[in-house]
Structure 1
Amino acid sequence: MAVSFLRYEVSDLCLAKPALRSLSASATVADALEALKTCEENFISVWDCNHPKTTRSLDAGQLCRCVGKVCMVDVICYLCKDDNLVSPSAALKAPVSAILSKIPGQVMHVEPSCSLLAAIDLILQGVQNLVVPIRTRLSSSSRRKQHPKCTTTTFHNGQEFCWLTQEDVVRFLLSSIGLFSPIPAFSIDSLGIISTEILAINYHSSANSALQLISQSLCKQTSVAVVDSEGVLIGEISPFTLACCDESVAAAITTLSAGDLMSYIDCGGPPEHLVRVVMERLKERKLQGVLENYTLTSSSSYAHSLMSSSSDEESSVSPNTTLQPRSGRYSRSSSYSARMVRRAEAIVCHPKSSLVAVMIQAIAHRVNYVWVIEDDCSLVGIVTFSGMLKVFREHLETMA
């Protein structure tokens, strides 16, 4: 049984995986934003397709490579930069490369025959998404049907692709957890996988001061802990939760405290009093471009009513403007294949929690980590999928 487990390939993990939705590397940030608003997944793949005119269509497809991925958090952090706050509309015209991660190797192509062990090794080396060809038969006419900006499911190399993540691998290992007995029953403390290298911010600090931490947590696939002065965990600012919002959150990050931002991004939508605070502070800072965009995108009818009823200046929105409804992200399906929105409350465990219990917690909440706290809620550290995979990888070596 153990020997047969080692024979698994990444293609075995790709069964029923949806084809990637993709974006051309020649697209703009605005194109990425539009695609993300209509996508069920948190991330969209970015492809560089160099098609020489003299090359046949199928051969040209072989020059397509996935060069990265983008999510709403990338857009939000980009719009929060000082230069972009002055003119958000101009910032959105920049190429999508402006929001791509500068850390190399986060996305990597592998063959369907790549072994499970090799895939785990790549993930432990820092690869976040393994791009895998989907084995399907396509007609020549299907291969030629591509969206100009590749913002829908498209064909590259004459075929479709999916990708595997840390979560996919951990789910697969959990389905065969009995093979690893008794390790899954051991506590995370005894296994030594509690990391004290955490990203944290004080509850009363400005949310804007957490911007770099948010970017780092996105790259590390973790989160930013929000703590009080005594180190007690209050909640978190999670890239996963931010990815389920829209670009108007950039205005909230710019104007609110870390604690207020947690309330703002909660799954019920921003409280009206915080919407008022954001708008008033945008006015004070004379960020007219951000204010206009915020009026159109966040809790639209309420924000518009505040602007219209303002007695000290004219509304910056034309009476004939059609306000867009708030993004449907707050009501999306919570199925495994779809985006799921959760509250800003942190997912926690105890140092004595078993490995398998923590795995189930993380998978149930669609996160790559679980915070570790003591009985008094003081923050001890964090357990990540990467740490879990190291434990399983060491055990797999003994099975070879």
Structure 2
Amino acid sequence: MTDDLPMNPALLPAGLRDLLPPAAEIEARSIEAMMEVFATHGYQRVKPPLVEFEHSLLAGSGAAVSEQTFRLMDPDSQRMLGLRADTTPQVARIANTRLAAAPRPLRLSYAEHCLRVRGSQLAPDRQIAQAGIELIGSDSPGADAEIILTGAEALASLGLTEVSFDLAMPTMAGTLLDGADFKPEHRAALAHALDRKDAAAVSRLGGAIADVLTRLLLAAGEATPALAVLAEVELPPEARALADRLVAVVAAIRARAPALRLTIDPLEFRGLRYHTGPCVTVYALGHQQELGRGGRYVSGEREPATGLTLFPDAILEAARTPPLRPRLYVPAGTDASVAARFRAEGYATVAALGDEKDPPEAEARRLACTHLLTDGAAAPLS
């Protein structure tokens, strides 16, 4: 029976994978390049634990990822633990506990891995690398703009300049539906039609607000014409305030980066359920997978916050491959100071260990070196 066969030790659970050379180094260097950009904008790095007590991990905004969270029993405390499925709730916890007395607005950054119960069709990986920023304690449009502009600069540091930041207001649809007072089953059908961008069904099910919903649904697209439609649609006061906030965020971005590609979908409401205001999804032109996602939420009980999480795995698929560090083979007997000099110049030195059987050039090629130390110089291997 096949069940009796030994399991291949290279076999991993679905959605998990090994990252091998040089991909692992490329990912690490790319993450650090983005983290350096975050640091130059005043975002200070935090490092939450991989595992927390379930009650704190899933409190507040963490409840939105409860279904994606792996759980296990802590043999020490005999309490349930959770493995993080998203880093933002952990950063919010840190901000509201250990950094509760820190001056606001608080700017924090992180680079972590998360583990989720399920992947998606477009992103089947269950272990997800995240590099992100959180701006906590400000409710201004300038804060929303800052995280987008900082994210754009981080992507540009990896050569990704052809990107689109897609803005949405996830509370807009709910606000309009609340005001129309639909019956639960009717509301669910209409929400489903909005989610599927089915304009015909929205027109049929929308009742008194069918025209408003249809116009907003069809307005999705490049920011300037979308905002023009938003300005013309007659909205109730609460919905108008949400539309005005989108206008203010776009204006704040345009003031600093007029060429940045922005699109708007005022009725988009998919994503993490803890978002309470303007949200953003990042795409590279020509690529379907999200490069990042973020938006406004409530940190702790009532503190305003906004953030952006970038996904290095997707980014590296879209970005040009950065140049790898050249590998210099150092034959046996070479003075250590010579190898140190080349490392200072950016080479990775691969030292002979004294038991090689092949000539230095053959050994250098076998070990995937790009250069061979010859007469004190780094000679390229063709």
The TM-score, its normalising length taken from structure 1, stands at 0.27
Structure label with greater radius of gyration:
2
